[in-house]
Amino acid sequence: MSGRCAGKVALVTGSSRGLGKAIAQRLAAEGATVVLTARTAEPDPKYDGSLMQTKAEIADAGGNAVTIAVDLSDSADRERLFAEAVAQVGAPDIVVNNAAVTFLRPLDGFPERRVRLMMEMHVVAPLHLTQLAIPAMRERGRGWVLNLTSVGGDLPPGPPFSEFDRTAGFGIYGTVKAAMNRMTKSLAAELYDDRIAVNAAAPTNPVATPGAGTLDLAKTDTEDIELITRTALELCTGDPSTLTGRIVQTQTFLREIGVLS
């Protein structure tokens, strides 16, 4: 298949459903061989979507994908994921860190084990997968890393604080996304001379993914998922010497590059 990602391997985490699935499909449609990874390998009535379903839809559209089920909160499993991906299709040119675990509750009673899990999934795992990908990217003289972030990582205005910020329980979620954003900037700076682009992208408005629906964050779309997949495509194919170190929101970024008016 021809396209902007032809001949490239893309690893997309959390690609059994939601934004990860949509981004994986977009990259596959542009010619990438996509490594799909999440915990849900086979269809399960308890979950909306699976790796095999994503792979089948990509194949039906003429694309190529392989599936590797892992627990991304486990360091050894991340090592296994990367080793199996390299063995099956080669080291990735593109890494999309999308997988997430989110719990919302006030900070004064937030369980430590859940704080650690969210830090592992939103910060440690993306860093680890990027570290695993760097050697081959350096050897090729190119590479792209995209971290899926959120406007929740921005500091809330105040005081006075809005009713939402006082009661929504976004403290840990905002903290891990802010940490992801800072890590993105540092990786972009450190890898600039290697022509490895590292960026982060967030939907400007909520997208009604299965995960967001479970948390009552977005029951209906207020943003077309096409905007995040187009943003991902641009950030995963752009010139690493100019399009790196960006923390973007979809609509602002797509207006900047002339896709939206």
**CA 203/CA 225 separation, integer angstroms:** 8
The catalytic site residues sit at 173
Instruction: Determine whether 130 is exposed, middle or buried from the number of CB atoms within 10 Å of its CB (0-12, 13-18, 19+).
Output: buried
**CA 68/CA 162 separation, integer angstroms:** 43
Contact present, 174 and 149 (Cβ < 8 Å):
no
Instruction: Determine whether 76 is exposed, middle or buried from the number of CB atoms within 10 Å of its CB (0-12, 13-18, 19+).
Output: exposed
DSSP 223: S
**CA 198/CA 188 separation, integer angstroms:** 5
What are the distances in angstroms from CA 108 to CA 103, 105, 158, 167, 183? Answer: 14, 9, 20, 12, 26
State whether the Cα torsion 104-53-89-238 is positive or negative: negative
